[in-house]
Amino acid sequence: MSETDRASNRPSGRMNGGRAMAEMLRLAEVGPMFGMGGFQLLPFYDALASSA
């Protein structure tokens, strides 16, 4: 991976764990996911909603 590719894959701003997971799944081109989550996954759901 070139330096330009790495720079374009980096999200801007501060990143929490939920946003890191959402970015990782986006870069891996993951499709639909199923499961039951609790309150500990709320930052992840927020990150998914804002990246859509």
pLDDT in tens, the chain (52 residues): 566 655 566 666 778 888 888 888 888 998 888 877 788 888 888 888 887 6
What residue numbers bound the domain in which 11 lies?
A: 3-51
Among left, alpha and beta (phi > 0; psi -120 to 50; other), residue 35 is: left
How many domains are there within the chain? 1
pLDDT at 31: 86
Cα Dmax for the chain: 38
pLDDT at 28: 93
pTM: 0.58
Give the number of other Cβ atoms within 10 Å of residue 26's Cβ.
15
Minimal CA–CA distance to 51: which of 41, 36, 20? 20
pLDDT at 36: 74
Instruction: Report residue 1 as tokens.
Output: 């991976």
